[in-house]
Amino acid sequence: MMQNQILKKGKLYLLSSITASILLSGCFGGEEKKEVSAEAVVKPVEQPKVEQPAGTAVAESVVKEAVEKVEVAKEEVKDVVATVEKEVQQTPITTPTIDGAKLYAKCSSCHGANGEKVALNVSKIIKDLSKENFISAVKGYQSGTYGGSMKTLMTGQVKSLTEDEIKAIANYIIK
């Protein structure tokens, strides 16, 4: 449908251009001027079965070639999209692993290399806690709802930890 509209507009443009050049050459060619009424100029444009000048065939072939190239490009894009979709489907989704040992390193100065120390002679030995109790205690420190005299110190130490990081530390220390 779009191709038909383009062709019609192209034909109209070409016909109008030819009519204008005929009129202008008649005015400036030094030949005898012919009177042309407005109806005579409009009629060729309005008549559906006007003979097409040679230029129209060229315009139609250019439009046809452009349409064909667009269709080829669409197919190429479809192929690329299909390839990318296939690759995305085949690529496994991996979650980055969190290194509990690396995260625990800042804790080891008070709690010991393996969570075996009573930190500052106040805390519990964290390697002896269950994973659930360890996670609950750390979350309590984060929210300020857990801990006695060490509450302020521990809140600053664990405030930035995510839930996954807390679990990674628990998995590293508590066997």
Q: Look up the pTM and report it.
A: 0.48
Averaged over 114-118, what is the pLDDT?
Answer: 92
CATH 1.10.760 domain range(s) in the chain: 100-173
pLDDT at 7: 52
Residue 166: count other Cβ atoms within 10 Å of its Cβ.
22
Q: Which CATH architecture has domain 100-173?
A: Orthogonal Bundle (1.10)
Cβ partners under 8 Å of residue 139, min gap 6? 146, 163, 166
**Where do we find the tokens 């109209």?**
12
**What is the reported pLDDT for 2?**
55
Query: Kind and range of the H or E element at 135?
Result: helix 131-143
52-70 per-position pLDDT tens digit: 555 677 778 888 888 888 8
